[in-house]
Amino acid sequence: MSKKLELSFLESKDGSHTLLRHDLNETYHSHNGAIQESLWVFIDRGLKYLKENGYETIKVLEIGFGTGLNAILAYEFAQKNNIKIEYVSLEPFPVPLEIAEKLNYTDFLEEESKEIFGQIHRLSWEEKHEVSSYFSIQKIENTLENFKNNSDFQSEITGEEEFDCIFYDAFAPSKQAEVWQLSNLEKTFNMTKEKGILVTYCAQGQFKRDLKTAGWSIETLDGAPPKREMVRAMKSVTSSQ
């Protein structure tokens, strides 16, 4: 997809960068701390939660690769915890490499992960890459709406229920309502294994109602400070919710 993105750098409150997308007037992360929120929502309430529930292998689907911040933090989690992560990430509008390489995330990473951040950005799209014995990544240049509807991907991805964890990290519903539409929530539900989860920073009322309609059982958790709430949803076909 060829869309010329107009982006500028901002420093969030924990010192880590985020990007401002001018056409939407929206940032890729919270102003209160990009790394702080990513760790809180996706790593701790997503990956760590699954690890505590006995998972040793986790297959993640991320909605919105963006700056690659969630991806590199998931890589660090895999390495530190000896958990095998297969990371699939959708992104219709990749951030140009020259911008990604100027993000200051490596300042916050373990020494051995610093190289990996740039490497993940430089990896080719569509193919699966083994980055380490614990972490593989497949970046797919597509929207969630079109993912798997396109025959190009059908041959590579066959099983219906394949993911353990959905990182739902689209821009806010007020900016990109189409990404939060019910059919997308149903689609992620159908692609998730029984007892798999979806985590997101968003706790908007209509979104929570749509998640339930799509079949998800939802939990509202404390959000990354100062946000009051976030959502973790579970695919529990036996639940009454």
Ligand X SMILES: C[S@@+](CC[C@H](N)C(=O)[O-])C[C@H]1O[C@@H](n2cnc3c(N)ncnc32)[C@H](O)[C@@H]1O
Size of the site for ligand X (CB under 6 A): 19
- Asked whether position 176 contacts ligand X by CB under 6 A, the answer is yes
- Asked whether position 76 contacts ligand X by CB under 6 A, the answer is no
- Asked whether position 116 contacts ligand X by CB under 6 A, the answer is no
CB 128 within 8 A of CB 87: no
- Asked whether position 170 contacts ligand X by CB under 6 A, the answer is yes
- Asked whether position 93 contacts ligand X by CB under 6 A, the answer is yes
- Asked whether position 181 contacts ligand X by CB under 6 A, the answer is no
Peptide bond into 94 cis (omega under 30): no
Residue closer to ligand X, measured from CB, 55 or 87:
87
The window from 53-61, 86-94, 115-123, 221-229 that contacts ligand X (CB under 6 A) reads 86-94
- Asked whether position 179 contacts ligand X by CB under 6 A, the answer is yes
Strands (E), 91-168: 128-130, 135-140, 163-168
Residue closer to ligand X, measured from CB, 43 or 83:
43
Least distance (Å) from ligand X to the CB of residue 189?
A: 16
Q: Which residues of 62-99 are buried (b: 16+ CB within 10 A; e: fewer)?
A: bbbbbbbbbbbbbbbbbbeeebbbbbbbbbbbbbeeeb
Binding to ligand X, residues 118-157 (CB under 6 A):
143-145
- Asked whether position 67 contacts ligand X by CB under 6 A, the answer is yes
Binding to ligand X, residues 25-54 (CB under 6 A):
28
- Asked whether position 91 contacts ligand X by CB under 6 A, the answer is yes
Q: How far is CA 62 from CA 165, 195, 226, 228, in A?
A: 8, 17, 24, 23
Q: Which residues of 133-161 are buried (b: 16+ CB within 10 A; e: fewer)?
A: ebbbbbbbebbbeebbeeeeeeeeeeeee
In the complex, the residues that contact ligand X under the rule CB under 6 A are 28, 63-64, 66-67, 69-70, 90-93, 143-145, 169-171, 176, 179
